[in-house]
Structure 1
């Protein structure tokens, strides 16, 4: 129960509390004389609510409580192989509160998906969401992977049955299917769902996408604005009995205090984006829950609501799904991995607790998608030498990142004649960012044969191969941006850099405070193809379109000139490279 609800509960038991509450209100209003408790109650029932806070009292004729169950997933990313587990968990949640359960998503339902869904433009995932009965989702950044037009016209097509929510995005012709909120009336209560997307959207998508979508206000400010509107007592502009937020941002964004904090009108927040399992509280005390990613986990909560509108009292309680679902380390989040095949499911279904319509539909969707993907994805596009390994590692540049960087470099050399002609005088460097590599190992089954499925699963985002011209100084700045501050300490996010580059880094003494920039390191002894690079030298940087437009906060790439994109996916660049370099050996 949050702070707002605690005050409401006290209203039922303490006459002195009524006096204190009116006294507190009078600090921003004219003083109120209190001749009797009945007069106080009458006054409080007619006072206009303080902006940013629902009234903290009950109507005299409060009805009995009603309970509505919310079941949330986030960052599913087209992992349809786990869709039957999610379907089973939603069915169990429905059986917990028949006719009064609402499934929701906190964003990134599609995009960055495994091959079975991605190879079919995530249509299998959208069909699966219909089978689940999921009709409400926040907008995530990966819904925009194929562009704003693709989102608005295809993903958000009403035929898919999903209301897409994003209160902090401007509604234009290009985004006219986005909504600030929706209200569902369930069990006699109006539940409002407000959506918002991370304020850092520009850092996790490309400028070409940002040209078509505008964030007009911070996510928290937009949520508070809509929550106030839905709690002002004015039925003509929407009114809710409980407010649930679907925020596609790390849970910590919802726990800030002061002017950056969510107000008392919010009863529950489901967060996402960081793929974490975590919980917290808003500044006003409402629960904040982030339920992992890829369909492995689900958050399920009961909202018990007494009263209506701004007079409603809302309490939030976690639900234990049971039936084979296991607890995670975070209260309110259940692990549903393997749930569809759990031995308890057979007994649960045979007892008639729920039908398996959604589950059987998901099984058919997965089977159909796998057959379609197998026909296309089994094509062998390259080979690697026995014992070679191209995968991700921690705390160092990975062989996988270097391989992809080499592929981006070679694609530019092969496809851009004027770059190839300048190669003798202007060196070309390749880059890749860790976030663009979606699997841990290129050769997923270890057979030495690289298939189209393995490449497209690893390079699953909708980036193009691109290039930009940098000075040597700008190149050093980009390399230096691998070292950053996080939570008061220096962390390294390694780039993949093509194998023709060598450099050293020297940590700066941050205690002196005399630097004219925010770098943590100096890049020294930088060479390309064995040649030392000076600050005034010209270099061509090749990489994916997201990274070279400043993605993942590598803003130094934006300092370059003559940015160009090829009409070639960054995955195709690796396919071409594998064709030209059979039996690849690991870097030494």
Structure 2
């Protein structure tokens, strides 16, 4: 239809409303205006958008977060006009959800979004958490909105495996919504769940579909306006980062900004949990087009207004902003959409509370992820919770009737909450509830084992340094307490792990080690590809949350283990000569989980001989990974050391962190003489048992 305006009034013909006819081909550049500032002579289309909601209908146990989002959606839609406003999403609506939603397989969240009138959504990687068949079966059947993935193809073909677009009619305007997902999805979900799929270039897929929707051929779908919903986005889109910064950094966001075709009028993004509303240069013309992401968890609502020239059908103005979601108001209580959504939250909370309040065990102190600048979930660093979880997986697979395992591992990104000593609900201090355990492990991974050679396990540790272009340069693995290693952060890629010990013995390169973890990681998730190359991969069918709960039921209480299992050593010697000075630096001695002690000293042994105790500086060191706690170590190798193969062992206090690396001991010329640099029989400060460098006094007796 042709929509015309006369003055400030929109004139719509009576009877059937026909579609606005847009000029076929590319959109033209538009100009940004303030929210509410669209020229009244233009036709206004209002789009509300969320991303990375992750089932947050009940973040704090009262449903306040979900209800606040619902109230903000309905009041904003009422202010803008019900018929001229549509709600969309950039994906990850479900998955990695808090207990209320996760314990009910996210069905309350899907029903909640149905009630809010969500029209279409890009699929996010978490929509694939339970596999493709679950997405296209259970999830799709429950959702009233279309799940879009234009770059998801049947393996080895160009056949789309999901819907590529949805036409959403907004006040008579046909809005083509094209969805695409991050190309890294196979490394972010259990690989077996997407084994029959290919994830292509998201920008190329959006461009292909957008061109189809603007080609003037009604037989293949036509839209007046095209918006892209990318489940991918800028990696640092906060107030300290600009659009230009992000484009200069390259990667997925730069491709979205630079290469998304001119047929696309506006771009919504997600996945990276950032907040921005940027005016990006349009690919043709002198104007700009909006690129928006709205943080995460429903705490921000994206609002896009498009001003369309009724004569040409082109978007010529737009406003883009993020609205902070605020607590529900009394005004919302009279809105039937709000009351329906709020009732869904209340029912889900009531059902979740019955299961979640069950106490499963106790902790003696906080057991948490790594913290940085007051925030949890620093995935670049080792944590008490990551290592405990790896212990739990190993323990679970070594219970009677299970297949057995040698090592437990845990991916840091899978830890979605903390074990806190202070109560977060009605429980007593130290009590751990089912809800808390499930919030840590919300993905319902099954426990698996796989056999790796010692060499492959070392490769696994090397793969903590992620491939170029990954969203994080390093992902720290949690390790069961029978594993420790040293690494050189300055070494070449693939050569950074310098020594690994398993069960207090150097790892056997040709030996076989059975590794236990969740199906996500064992399948090669998070770019730990060597796990998918192992042998005898076995799915036990045991759910990770159940393994976690069972561990607590077998222990009266659980305490944090503050021992670091990975210590960085730079300039490590491979050979030492008695009488010669030895110098190197040890770092990454301190954990940053809540309650972790700050190490003050590290004792150094050559074989069983202590060669000194050295002060630890608690400062943090930037790098990959960042490291906290370091010691500069210098000593003279004493006479009397056993020649040949030996080791240098580091023991940090008070955490008792320990690691070692191999070294060969060579007797110096004149070893044993009274007058050598390495040994002084008169007992002055050149004596063979006296360390050099920054040493501290201790009461340790050799």
1:283/1:411 Cα in 2 relative to 1: closer, same or farther (>3 Å)?
farther
**Correspondence 1:14-413 to 2 at 5 A:** 53-54=26-27, 65-81=42-58, 82-98=65-81, 99-157=83-141, 160-170=143-153, 178-215=162-199, 217-251=200-234, 255-256=253-254, 261-280=259-278, 281=280, 284=283, 285-307=288-310, 311-318=312-319, 332-336=321-325, 338-340=326-328, 345-346=329-330, 349=331, 355-385=334-364, 387-393=365-371, 394=378, 396-413=381-398
Distance in 1 between residues matched to 2:441 and 2:175, nearest whole Å:
39
What is aligned with 2:538?
564
Displacement of 1:567 after TM fit?
0.4
Pick aligned residue for 2:513 from 535, 539, 542: 539
| Secondary structure, aligned partner of 1:256 | helix
Structure 1: runs of 5 or more not aligned: 1-47, 58-62, 320-331, 421-427, 511-517
CA deviation string 1:384-441 (max 9, x = no partner): 22x3534443453110001100011111111565537xxxxxxx11110111111133
Question: CA contact under 8 A between 2:466 and 2:527: conserved in structure 1?
Answer: no
Equivalent of 1:430 in 400, 404, 408: 408
Report if the CA contact (8 A) 2:28-2:314 is conserved. no
Deviation at 1:361, TM superposition (A): 2.0
Query: Corresponding residue for 1:414?
Result: 399
1:455: Cα distance to partner? Answer: 0.7
Tell me which of 500, 503, 508 is aligned to 1:526.
500
For residues 227 and 365 of structure 1, the distance between their equivalents in structure 2, rounded to whole angstroms, comes to 36
Whole-Å separation in 2 of the counterparts to 1:248 and 1:468: 31
Matched position secondary structure for 2:254 = coil
Give, in angstroms, the shift of residue 204 of structure 1.
0.7
Cα–Cα, structure 1 residues 144 and 417, in superposed 2: closer, same or farther, change >3 Å? closer
What are the superposed Cα offsets for residues 449-497 of structure 1, whole Å, 9 maximum, x if unpaired?
1111111111000211111111111111111222347689994321111
Higher relative contact order (CA 8 A, sep 6+): 1
Q: Distance in 2 between matches of 1:415 and 1:162?
A: 46
Name the structure with the higher helix share: 1
With 488-497 and 162-171 compared, the bigger mean Cα shift is at 488-497
What stretches of structure 2 of length at least 5 have no aligned partner?
A: 1-22, 31-39, 59-64, 235-245, 372-377, 563-702
Q: 1:226 to 1:439 in 2, by over 3 A?
A: same
Distance 1:254 1:545, change over 3 A: closer
What is the TM-score normalised by the length of structure 1? 0.77
Task: Give distance in 1, aligned partners of 2:281 and 2:552.
Answer: 50
Supply the RMSD in Å over aligned alpha carbons.
2.9
Q: Which has the higher strand share?
A: 2
Asked if 1:457 is matched to 2:420, the reply is: no
Shift of 1:245: 0.9
- C-alpha separation between the residues in 2 aligned to 1:486 and 1:316? 38
Measure the CA separation in 1 of the matches of 2:277 and 2:526.
25
Q: How many residues align?
A: 490
Is the partner of 1:72 in helix, strand or coil?
strand
Distance in 2, Cα, partners of 1:460 & 1:56: 43
Choose the corresponding residue for 2:522, options 539, 548, 554: 548
1:543 is paired with a residue whose SS is strand
Q: Deviations over 1:76-112 (max 9, x none)?
A: 1111022211111212221232120000111111111
The match for 2:587 is none
How far apart in 2 are the matches of 1:179 and 1:538? 44
Aligned mates of 1:355, 1:297 — CA distance in 2: 23
* TM-score using structure 2 length: 0.65
- Is residue 153–residue 161 contact of structure 2 (8 Å, CA) maintained in 1? no
Deviation string, structure 1 residues 99-157 (Cα, Å, up to 9, x no partner): 20000111111111111111111111112112211121111121122222222122111
> What CA distance in whole angstroms lies between the structure 2 residues aligned with 1:88 and 1:490?
35
